[in-house]
Structure formats: C-alpha cells, structure tokens
Amino acid sequence: MIKVIISVKNNNIVKINILGHADYDDYGKDIVCSSASSIMTTTVNAILMFDKNYISYSQKKDDFAIIVRENNEIVANLLNNMINLLRELERDYPKNIKIEEEN
C-alpha cells in the first residue's frame, strides 16, 4: 500500500512523504503506482519551474519526500492540487493508497 503522510504546521504543508508500493499489480504494471508517481512528478516539476528554492525533494526506492522551503500561494495551490488528486486515487483504490495528515 502507498502511504502518503502530510505534515502540517501552522496550517501550512511543511512536508509530504510518499512511501511504499500500491501492490495493485507487479512493478512496472501497477496503474495506482504509475498514477501516484505521475501526480507527484508533475507537481514537483511545476513548483520547480517557478523557483527551485521553493521546495527540496528526495527520492529513494518506494520513498519520496517533498520538503517545503518557502510557503507561498503557488506552492500551497500546487501541493493542495496534488493532494486532491491523490485523494481521488485513494477513493478509487482504497486498498492501495492511504493518506494521513499529521500536525
């Protein structure tokens, strides 16, 4: 299962961790993992197009983290859009992706 952990401080997203594998299908054939990966990659690339200093990120096998370095309207809107898309995926595939928020 993919686990998305959204860390919030003072009503601002400060970090998003995306961990694990959806286990919907084998690696390379998993539509849930592909969808989550596309959503994350598109969001990170969009933020970095505005300013490379807004976020930092790290990627390891089955572990992706986005760290917000500058909270602003652009970053907030793009991250909230990403979360909304991941929530839609969670509604469609509740056995394969779970989203949690921590304060």
Distance CA 6, CA 4 (A): 6
Of 21, 34, 42, 99, which is the active-site residue?
21
Distance CA 6, CA 73 (A): 17
In our burial notation (b when 16+ CB lie closer than 10 A, e otherwise), range 1-11 reads: ebebebbeeee
33 is catalytic: yes
21 is catalytic: yes
Of 33, 55, 75, 83, which is the active-site residue?
33
Instruction: Give the SS3 label for residue 103.
Output: coil
Enzyme catalytic residues: 21, 33
